[in-house]
Amino acid sequence: MAAYDPVVANEMRRQAAVDRTGILRRGNNPALQSIVEDAARLAKAPIAAITIIDRARQWFAARIGLDNEEGPRSEAFCAHTILKPGEPLIVLDTLEDIRFATNPAVVTTPHIRFYAGIPLVNRAGYALGALCVADTKPRPDAFDIYTLSHLARTAERLVSSI
């Protein structure tokens, strides 16, 4: 099965909003890294990131547990997360979700089995990326998504003001 590349209905305007932030031209930000570390601790997850979804790639503005600085958008869990700017995306077991069961990040390193992402939305309502946590084990239920959402709101302000 080929990778599924979800596209936002207003993708051109969303991408223009990403471009206006200038974040893709900047290096990693210590404040964003701190948020990622807090998110990983909160979720007791080995993987956490703040992502920006660009035209054909997912760029990690901050990360823990991931070696690469970016990856293809077509394989990005967060590309699915930005489809609904007001809602978290929680996948308790990636192998049981048709969108992700054959994803390279599931079937090979880092072997993601649990994912939770909160869209990072600018003031105009465009989802620029996500704050996410992931685990190599499936989870029977979600954790304190409210606190993760609070961290995402802080990340939104930082991403929009960089």
pLDDT tens, position by position, 45-69: 999 999 999 999 999 999 999 999 9
Least confident residue range of 44-58, 118-132, 142-156 = 142-156
Q: How many domains does the chain have?
A: 1
Average pLDDT, the chain: 91
Q: What range does the domain containing 16 cover?
A: 11-161
70 in a structural domain: yes
- Residue 1 domain flag: no
Cα dihedral value 101, 138, 5, 79, nearest 10: 180
For the record, the structure tokens of 147 come out as 């606190």
CATH number at residue 44: 3.30.450.40
DSSP codes of every residue in 92-143 = S-GGG-TTTTT-HHHHSTT---EEEEEEEE-TTS-EEEEEEEEESS--SS--
In a domain? residue 2: no
Best CA proximity match to 155, nearest among 65, 58, 37: 37
Query: What is the tens place of the pLDDT at every residue in 11-30?
Result: 999 999 999 998 887 777 89
